[in-house]
Structure 1
């Protein structure tokens, strides 16, 4: 009887997890048994329980180093699938690793659904061999994006339709046969079908039960496919829509009312918004005046946190999206239009609650001091970058333009202050990268009409300098007061990572791209969830308190709790890829009439598969395979893993202008098939 009671008294998985989450000091088996009053002879049974917990994912959220390595538990991690290789191997990154180490899923647990890009799996990592990439076995599917995928007829290297399909998601490589070719027919070229991938008895993946979806070239399909393939949420819950409407009514009731006691009244300042022509979500406004020492700046930001509390339906939907998504012909906002284009948007002539950065700088752009407070403001004018630039250049604007109602020296003062901040940025070694943004115009029928390099005005840099100053001040405020924000960090380039990407982190770090010791996102809470997190923390601090609660968005963010940072890093990458994929599909449709003709391309980089290029007519990427070049000295033989090919690859300088023949296009996948002019058939 005593033996049975001792077995029953051993701590449960839930009790063990609660105990381990409650501390940070490293513990071993003996420490845990002592804490629960158990004898040392229970070590083996306790280790078995912890082993099962590790493989179930129950230990994923423990603080780093909480369990001593001497216990010998399997190393597990959340892995977010990023792409599927040509051989069908799923690849991903460790979702909670700040360095986002890559993982190759060599094997899958029996019965596990095949992981797709965007899915999150629990992986058991093999011992590290010194390489940055880890090999692993997928044990459990933690989060599924969508099992239904879009497919189209694949093209061979010469642009000829094949008797196989490829996924419209370019992150899934390879081609697939139909699982039941006798029951389902291949779609016609250009037609898109929805289907699932089935694992066949021979281990190959095949397309199962394809259903018609539409033609890839029809209006709106490029953006629709981009949203579908990346599983981007496009609809708000009914609860969120209702909350948004109530907030719109509350914002309307603010008009012409006295300023709340806890807010500074900024409605007497001629704050202005500067945005693109098509923008509807105005979340920042600026103003400046000259001083003896330099300039006095005010950057007012829409106070979204006042209307979107943690845990609300609006918060749930916004957190899931992570960021607004701007496609060439469509916007998927983070917040419903009742907020993003109305109640929270700094529309001209409308009273709006705000947070503001009050900054004083020298003539050289050095910050003398700055504070952040809560206020109420009213935008004096909504200006576009182009109109503001025309005014600064002395070009006449229509008499009815709102710019004429502004103080005549305001734009000049803003320009001078922006130049001062820009000069300071140059002194601290900011990295200035050439932007390669393109604007796409459309015919009335929704088809792409032209691809044009996006114009960059000095007023773009003016606004950017003000936003960087406000974001840096918010980061410094949060760091000095230990506020729970997500910092924006950017590692210095290295031999292993020559172009590291900026990312969100719970741990403060340097932003080397901007040359700043601390940085966060604070100035765009309408379109970025990380900014909303910062607003909540700083608003609570402005009110004399600290955020409270169990949610990571309002409780202090620890260095070990990376789930929110990981999610927002993912949604940021998802938005970038969705936009690029949409542009690639539009470019393929736009270039279709040029099939068989020569096109100009710029060389970018070389890979084992071929020369990566950028089409000069659309600015979109493509690949000129090595098979398109003369096969001198067996340059296309990769049997020695590229050692021969590398020695005989044509020496093409990055940026070199070349010509190629456009053999075919596939708008469904966003592919343009190219060949060398002298070797095209």
Structure 2
């Protein structure tokens, strides 16, 4: 009888992965061998297989502590690259770590291209050393955001063009030479080229094959560069466009028809939308009436989950984008315009499917009862924040304005209900963060005309109060009924992290910013994928479909990959908007070069003063080297530390004056020098 092949009988990597994903209890080598009926002498070969699986990324999504630490496998993790240091070292964060531990990719596997901001790499981590940045080796490139990057002619601290290039992406530090200067010449100052960062034989990075892409100061280029440098998707697939058009056709055919049997008809209620003047994606509408105990609120939200089924082409595109991106002169929607500005938008006078929060509150804003239901609604009017504020202030609007068709007391009731909600919020002691929002106007030729601080009206706070109430209710219902949603969590400030950012998490957690034990995003499914995930779960629960409730959860919900991705796309959208504003400010401030500008100090760092230009609200850096007598060459004193000698006594919040030496619209940089310290 021939002997059995012991090598062939070992479980495959796929079989091992399936076994490890099928449980949560910690297992060791012996446990695995016993499960596959293998002898104990196969330990060494099994460990070798697991070692290779760890380095390939096959073990990344295992439940926490599934494999016992005694096995001694290399620690691997997904790393999202956030920036490149001056020396070319890629740095990032652990993509699946809620604490976002910082990582420096000090080495990388042979033939692995240099990771750039936005890339996802599989990294082998060195042992942790306290709370400092961890070092790692980049093993595999998991996601490449873009092969080509935008570059422009670099300028030195005096504003003089250099014989080198710098990336238009401000997260890539340093300057770069041309890889083949014999075949390509440097672009003219202000011109933009597209090229690839490559590693030269001496280990330095250089720009390969630059191709002209236009000038940085042409209309629309600021937003285009912001989208390019952050590799944000801007074009929808043909399949998604076709699906969107089919949904739009079905929505048009629904107009005036009887309400579906499983939905409550709200079309007789005067629900209204309040948004900015330029908004097109109206995803929430509100209504309120007084009661003996306080107020009855309805917050209706467009039912995007009905229009975008899980796994569809529309769903894949929405997940990829994660959120809409709002730039000063354009919007990149999460869903095609056929949905975002039409079939899903709560346009006035149009029948729309919705989910709605039905809430009863007291005069003190305490919730007496609340639930979420499925409905069909028809917006009675589309108001802007300024329209609503004018009406509340007693200002007469034109006779033809749609607000005149509303019940006379509706806005006053909404305002009173919002005031009640604000009373309850005040008791929670939420964090009050200053918002630096600016509006940019443009000349007819597309050039920036003015930067104006965005006005915060009482109607902004009124709508925000209603949205917070609906989001809180959605989080509570989801947690109570174990629905698969993403929670919005916000850590408490610490000395090391005085202003932590809110983030998405697959497990429930406290939102310290709002002072709430549970919170989620539910009220903006047209522009945020996390809200769409919540809608699918809650909509299925509304009709008692528990099977659909579980099925609607994305397959990567439990391993936090989805939360990590959406946290990344949220940051990408915010940075794209800020970078676009910075580039427009650099073009707008060009006539001020050589003159004094006012700056507001926000933070003092070891590199210099982080400041904001008061004329545009854009951030900049005033390095210590920009201060006159930086080296104290005229100071014969030997007293004082290096920090005392190099750091002028400037307090955070101070208003100073600086010399504007140069601007770079391609990178969004303003070069400053001190004119007030000597």
TM-score bucket (shorter structure): over 0.9
- Partner Cα distance (2:644, 2:537) in 1: 53
1:306-345 paired onto structure 2 within 5 Å: 306-345=306-345
- Contact 1:310–1:551 (8 Å) recurs in 2: no
TM-score (normalised: structure 1): 0.97
1:133-152 CA-partner distances (Å, limit 9, x unpaired) = 21100011111110100000
C-alpha contact 2:310 2:552 (8 A) present in aligned 1: no
**Contact 2:471 2:521 survives alignment (8 Å):** yes
Tell me by how many angstroms 1:645 deviates. 2.3
Determine helix, strand or coil for the equivalent of 1:436. Answer: coil
Contact 1:627–1:636 (Cα < 8 Å) also in 2: no
Match of 1:621 in 2: 619
Residue 593 of structure 1: aligned partner: 591
How has the CA–CA distance of structure 1 residues 654 and 678 changed in structure 2, closer, same or farther, with 3 Å as cutoff? closer
User: SS state of the match for residue 546, structure 2?
Assistant: coil
Q: How does 1:247-326 map to 2 (within 5 A)?
A: 247-326=247-326
SS of the counterpart of 1:86? coil
Given that 1:483 and 1:556 are in contact with CA atoms closer than 8 Å, whether structure 2 keeps it comes out as no
1:495 CA drift (Å): 1.3
Counterpart of 2:222 in structure 1 is 222
Aligned to 1:506: 506
| Residues in 1 aligned to 2:311 and 2:262: alpha-carbon distance in whole angstroms | 24
Matches of 2:65 and 2:469 in 1, distance apart? 37
Output the CA distance in 1 between the equivalents of 2:504 and 2:531: 11
Q: Please list the CA deviations of residues 425-446 of structure 1 after superposition, one character each: whole Å capped at 9, or x if unmatched.
A: 0111111111110000000000
Structure 2 counterpart of 1:668: 666
For residues 431 and 676 of structure 2, what CA distance do their matches in structure 1 show?
A: 40
Counterpart CA distance in 2 for 1:52 and 1:3 is 28
**SS at structure 1 position matched to 2:667:** coil
1:8 & 1:635 partners in 2: Cα distance? 76
The superposition leaves residues 486-523 of structure 1 with CA deviations (integer Å, 9 ceiling, x where unpaired) of: 00000100112111100000010000000000000000
Residues 592-631 of structure 1 deviation map (CA, whole Å, 9 limit, x = unaligned): 0111011000011111211111000000001111112234
Evaluate the alpha carbon distance shift between residue 550 and residue 423 of structure 1 in structure 2; reply closer, same or farther with a 3 A threshold.
Answer: closer
- Taking the aligned partners of 2:466 and 2:82, their CA distance within structure 1 comes to 35
* Correspondence for 1:658 among 656, 659, 678: 656
> Which stretch shifts more, 187-196 or 653-662?
653-662
- CA change 1:556–1:203 in 2 (3 A) is closer
1:237-256 → structure 2 map (5 Å cutoff): 237-256=237-256
2:610 corresponds to 1:612: yes
Distance 1:554 1:627 in 2: 51
Q: How big is each residue's C-alpha offset from its partner over 1:186-241, in whole Å with a ceiling of 9 and x where there is no partner?
A: 00000000000111010000111111000000000000000000000000000000
Give the gaps of 5 or more residues in structure 1: none
**What residue number does 1:149 align with?**
149
> 5 Å matches for 1:47-86?
47-86=47-86
Cα deviation 1:249-294 (Å, max 9, x = unaligned):
1111111111111000001100000000000000000000000100
**Residues 635 and 644 in structure 1, CA contact (< 8 A), matched pair in contact too:** no
Compute the displacement of 1:131 (Å): 2.1
Gaps of 5+ in 2: none
Within 1, Cα distance between the matches of 2:142 and 2:68?
A: 25
Q: Partners in 1 of 2:78 and 2:302 — Cα distance?
A: 35
CA distance in 1, matches of 2:599, 2:328: 22
Deviations 1:565-606 (A, max 9, x none): 000000000000000000000000000011101100001111
In 2, the alpha carbon distance for the partners of 1:534 and 1:676 equals 51
Shift of 1:644: 1.8
The DSSP-based 3-state class of the residue aligned with 2:5 is: helix
Q: Deviations over 1:378-428 (max 9, x none)?
A: 000000000000000001100000000000000000000001101110111
Pairwise CA distance, 1:552? 7.3
Match of 1:356 in 2: 356
Deviation at 1:636, TM superposition (A): 14
Farther off after superposition, 175-184 or 377-386: 175-184
Determine the C-alpha separation between the residues in 1 that align with 2:356 and 2:634: 60
SS at match of 1:477: helix
Q: Is the partner of 2:223 in helix, strand or coil?
A: helix
Aligned length: 674
RMSD of aligned Cα (Å): 1.7
Q: Which residue of 2 aligns with 1:26?
A: 26
- Inter-partner Cα distance in structure 2 for 1:372 and 1:123: 43
